[in-house]
Amino acid sequence: LLSRRQRQMCIRDSMSMDGICGSDDFSDSGLSLYWQWNHNPVDQAWSLTDRPGFLRLKTSRVVDNLFVAPNTLTQRMVGPKCMGTVSLSLGGMKDGDRAGLSAFNGDSGVLTIEKNGNKLSLVMSEQKSVFEKTKRAISRVDMTEQARIPLNKELVYLRVEGDFTNGRDEVRFSYSLDGKTWIPVGLPVKMKFDYTRMFMGSKFAIFNYATHSVGGYVDVDSFDYSFCDASM
């Protein structure tokens, strides 16, 4: 989606980004105003002090999908092009935990780290929420898995690149084990400009939730938000 030169220019732009969106190294005593919780947060399940310099996201409720997960942290995706990169430490995950980065809305592209037993896998999927108007709630989530990759490291970098130029409205995904070499994963996902199921537009979303039992956690080292000019 973006060339190496474009990525370098976007990263430089992010250093001076100002406004309602931006990068965060989670070194401050409070959570930046760049962020919004997707639901009312469980305050006991996140911390900036348990591991200074990191945001710790703890599981607090057993759920079966991202759309109802508590303590999902989001920022708006900005046009015409943008890129979000998160660094995650996975050593605190428990069996059944799901953590990662999403291009988030009613139809979402999702990079998920799954902990199953003692094994970690990176799963790229497209997830579509089905909203039941009579109940005014999401009745189910239809998921199409595009890629599944075994992981043997407890530090991973996840990236989402968005292109909203000329009605393109798509996102692409990649991951890295060292923060330098990036590996594309899955297919582009079309992001619909929808407000009928969740919210208007699309968001970057960092998440961690439990599907078996609570008590696990991930540590978020940093989130790099890059704004890219459409002319590049």
Per-residue pLDDT at 101 exceeds 50: yes
Q: What local confidence, expressed as pLDDT, does residue 232 receive? A: 46
Are 51 and 27 within 8 A, CB to CB?
A: no
How confident is residue 18, by pLDDT bands cut at 50, 70 and 90? Answer: low
Are 105 and 199 within 8 A, CB to CB?
A: yes
Mean pLDDT for 124-143 is 77
In this predicted model, what pLDDT tens digit does every residue of 19-54 receive, in sequence order? 789 999 999 999 999 999 988 899 999 999 999 999
Measured CA to CA, the distance from residue 155 to residue 175 in angstroms comes to 11
Between 59 and 106, the higher pLDDT residue:
59
Measured CA to CA, the distance from residue 148 to residue 165 in angstroms comes to 29
Q: Which of 180, 118, 126 is nearest to 152 (CA)?
A: 118
Are 204 and 104 within 8 A, CB to CB?
A: yes
In this predicted model, what pLDDT tens digit does every residue of 143-202 receive, in sequence order? 899 999 999 999 999 999 999 888 788 999 999 999 999 999 999 998 876 665 565 578
Between 193 and 79, the higher pLDDT residue:
79
